[in-house]
Amino acid sequence: MSIDPSTLRESVLVAYFVLLGMLAFYGSHRYLMVYLYKRHQGPDPEPGRYFGPQELPVVTVQLPLYNERYVCERLIDAVCKLDYPRDRLEIQVLDDSTDDTVDLVRAHVARWKGEGIDIVHIHRTDRTGYKAGALEAGMKVARGEFIAIFDADFIPQAEFLQQTIHHFSDPKVGMVQTRWDHINRGYSLLTAAQAVLLDGHFVIEHTARNRSGRLFNFNGTAGIWRHAVIEDAGGWQHDTLTEDLDLSYRAQLKGWKFIFLRDVAVPSELPVEMGALKSQQHRWAKGSIQTAIKLLPTILKSDLPAFMKIEAFYHLTANAAYLLLVFLAVLMPIATVIRMHEGWMITLMVDLPIFLGATVSIVTFYWTSQRELGRPRLEILRLLPAVMGLGIGLSLNNSKAVIEALFRHESPFVRTPKYAIENRGESWLGKRYIRKASVLPLVELLLGAWFSASIVFVIMSAQEGVYSLPFLMLFQFGFLYVAALSLWHGFKARGGRTRAALDVAEAG
C-alpha cells in the first residue's frame, strides 16, 4: 500500500507542531517562575524568633557515603567544625562503602572523636534502599530532634546550623533547604554550564515556588529536617530514585511548612566529566517521573488549591520534555525541508509564538538567575549557548531515564562520582569510580550528523529556509558537544586507568 506524499508531509508537520506546542507549554512556564520570583524577590525570611543559647535543640548531621575515598575526609572535617554546641551536635557517617573509603572514614572518625566530637561511623554491608535506606537506618538511632543532611560533594560552612535552625522556632516548619553553590564552577565550560542550570533551579524556581505558596522540594543535601516530620510523612522510602523529592511532597501534603533560604549558599563540587554528569541527570530525571507516577494522583485528588496542583504537575513532569525534545530533533530537519517554500509572513505567524514560548523563555529564565547572582552580562551571553546546547545534548540520556520510569524498569541508585576537583588544571584521570562509556554517545553523534546534513542542505538552498539555521545549529552543537565530550572523556579515562595500573605494577 503506497502512502500519499502530501499526507505524509501533513502528518510530519502535525507531529512537529504538536511537539513544538507541548515544549512551548513547558517552556512558557519559566515566564511564570520569573514573574513570581520578581514579585517575591527580596532578602530571605527572618525566623519568628531566635533560640536562646540554652534552648538550641539537639541536631543530628547525617553524611551518607558510598565509595567516596576522594572527598570523605573533606566532608567530615567541614561538619566537625560546625559552629554549634558540642553537647547538642551528633554526627553520623552513614557509610555503605565497599572499598578503602571504609578505612579512611573509620580512622578520620576516630581522630575527631578523640577531640571530643560526638561522631559515629555506621557501616552497612547491605545496601538495601541505597541512600534512603542508609538515612532510615541512621534515624533509628539518632538522638537529634532535627536532622541535617550533606552529600559527600558538599562542604558546609561553619555557620550553617546557626543560619537554619532558628527557623524551626515556628512549630509548623518541617524543613529548611539552602542554595547550592559550586567550588569548581570555573573548571571548564561543562562545569560552568552546569552551574547556570542549577542556579536557575535554586535561585528562580525554589524562591518563586516557596515564597508564592507553591510546593517545592528538599534537594537531598544542604538542608535540615524536623525528625518528627520525616516520620509523620511516612519516612524515607526507596521506591523511587529521588527519595528527597518523594518525601518532600508527602510531608507538604501533610500540611508541613517548608522554607528556602536563597541567601545561604553551601559550596559543592560539580561533576567534571560527562559520564558522571549523565549518571546524575539520569537518576534525577528517572526519579522525578517515578515520583510523578507515585504521587500526582494523590496530589490532584487532594484539597490543595488549583494553582498548587498545576505547579506540582509542571514540576514533577518537567523531565518528560526531554523525550519530546528527542522526537522533535528527529522531525525538525524534515519539517524544515517541507516548509522551505513558505513565505516569511506564515513563518512569523506560526513560528514566532512558539519561539517565544519555547526558546526566549529559557534565555529569560537563566539570564535572570545569573543577574540576580551578580554575574557580568558578557559572561552570561558567552555561557547561554553552551547552557542551551548542554540541555539539548543531554536529552537522549534523560529520555532514556523517562522511558525507564514510564515502563517501571528497575535500576539501582547510581551515585555521582566525586574526585575532589576544585580548581582549573586539576586532573581526574586515573581516578576510581569513572563509569564505562555506553553506546549512547554514538546515537548522539548520529543526531549531530543529522543536523549537520540539514544545515548543509539549507545553505545550498540559498535563501529558502535560512530562518531555521540558528535552531538547526543549536541542536547540532548540543548533540555533537555532548557526544564528543562523552567519547573524549571515555577515551581519556581508559588511558588514565591504564597509566594508573602501570604505575601500580611498577611500584610493586
Question: What span, in angstroms and rounded, lies between the C-alpha atoms of 504 and 506?
Answer: 5
Query: Measured between alpha carbons, how far is residue 17 from residues 28, 350, 355, 471 in Å?
Result: 16, 9, 12, 15
Question: What span, in angstroms and rounded, lies between the C-alpha atoms of 496 and 491?
Answer: 9
Residues 6+ positions from 167 with CB-CB distance below 8 Å: 45, 47, 173, 176, 259, 261
The per-residue b/e assignment along 453-479, b for 16 or more CB within 10 angstroms, e otherwise, is ebbeebeeeeeebebbeebbbbbbbbb
How many residues comprise the chain?
Answer: 508
Q: C-alpha grid cell for residue 56?
A: 538550641
Residues 6+ positions from 222 with CB-CB distance below 8 Å: 149, 150, 154, 156, 177, 178, 179, 180, 266, 268
Query: Measured between alpha carbons, how far is residue 70 from residues 74, 237, 364, 431, 433 in Å?
Result: 8, 28, 38, 9, 10
State which amino acid sits at residue 116.
G
Residues 6+ positions from 112 with CB-CB distance below 8 Å: 76, 80, 91, 119
Going by C-alpha positions, the residue among 37, 43, 62, 251 that lies closest to residue 163 is 43
Burial of 91 (0-12, 13-18, 19+ CB in 10 A): buried
The catalytic residue among 96, 151, 153, 199 is: 96
244 classed as catalytic: yes
The catalytic residue among 118, 151, 244, 246 is: 244
Which backbone phi and psi does 370 adopt, to 5 degrees?
-70, -35
Helix (H, G, I), strand (E, B) or coil at 235: coil
Residues 6+ positions from 457 with CB-CB distance below 8 Å: 333, 337
Question: What span, in angstroms and rounded, lies between the C-alpha atoms of 282 and 266?
Answer: 24
User: Is-contact 325 392, C-beta < 8 A?
Assistant: yes
Residues 408, 409, 411, 417, CA torsion sign: negative
Question: What span, in angstroms and rounded, lies between the C-alpha atoms of 267 and 291?
Answer: 27
Residues tagged active-site: 96, 244
